[in-house]
Amino acid sequence: MFNGSRLGGTLIVVLAALVPTCFAGWLVWQSLNGSGEPSEKTSAAPARSGEGNGEDAGDGEKRDGKPGGKSGGNGRHKEPPESEEPLTGMTVVLDPGHNPGNSEHVDKISRRVDIGTAKKECDTTGTATNSGYPEAKFTLDLARRARTALEARGARVKLTHEGDVPYGPCVDERARKGNEAKADAVVSLHADGAPSGSRGFHVILPASVREGEADTRRITAPSRRLGGDLRDAFREATGERPANYLGDGEGLDTRGDLGGLNLSKVPKVFLECGNMRDARDASRLTSAKWRTKAADGITRGIEAFLTANR
């Protein structure tokens, strides 16, 4: 039979014994951690990005101590992957060959300028396809596409002209623009005007010359490396073969009669992207889709050269 009176008395005795003990424990806890929130030494601040692997990136700073960019929601700076902008800090000059307005200023572009080894025309009109698509229009479009791709990789890109001047610039001024920019690489873009049946692309390298204002001795070796990287990347991106009408079929040609190369003080090459007078080459040069591939090849070639020579 249940005896409620006896049980109630037992509970009272137990509670009377426990209350002093609990009260003493509460006093000890309060003295150690008064407010009930985490103490300063045990702060729950988010771990910094380097923690756990022996590195410390710092709050809102990159590992090199420079101020960080935008922070994420946790207050930590998030650095982009190293491969995202591999050309940061590098300067590239693209030289779109000729100018759409040259044909209207023949008297001005025909004047002679000093290229060190000789005197040559300020510029020429360039060539065109049989259907009338001009080289100058092709090179300007290609340069703009390549600029976009290079800038996406972090490069600082300058064009020798935007088609916004009446004619030129002259070949000596084109070289000067690359020199003044202290470019890490310069690529002059062209398309050839060889007889039909002559197909393919090639890269023109500077010969070693020293005469007058021309002195390429310091740039011939790096220019050759630039040319080789550009040739390989362009071939891979476009599927085009090196020119079948000059050199040894390797796609590299060395010349000492071009003012844009002779007067350069920085690594520089010319890229002849194909033959506008050949119907099969012309069908590619006039294709916007193909020019996107070509711009990718140019970008990858320049990137290969610059990242190998950092």
Q: Is the peptide bond before 169 cis (omega within 30 degrees of 0)?
A: yes
Distance of CA 264 to the CA centre of its chain: 22
Residue 272 designated active-site: yes
- DSSP annotation string for the chain: ---HHHHHHHHHHHHHHHHHHHHHHHHHHHHHSTTSSPPGGG--PPPPTTTTTT----TTB-TTSSBP--B-TTS-B-PPPTTTSTTTT-EEEEEE-S-TTGGG-HHHHTSEEE-SSSEEES-----B-TT--BHHHHHHHHHHHHHHHHHHTT-EEEES--S-SSS---HHHHHHHHHHTT-SEEEEEEEE-PPTT---BEEEEE---EETTEE-TTTHHHHHHHHHHHHHHHHHHH-PPBPSSSTTSSSEEEES--HHHHT-SS-EEEEEEEETTSHHHHHHHT-HHHHHHHHHHHHHHHHHHHHHT-
Q: Which residue of the set 135, 240, 272, 303 is catalytic? A: 272
Active site residues: 272
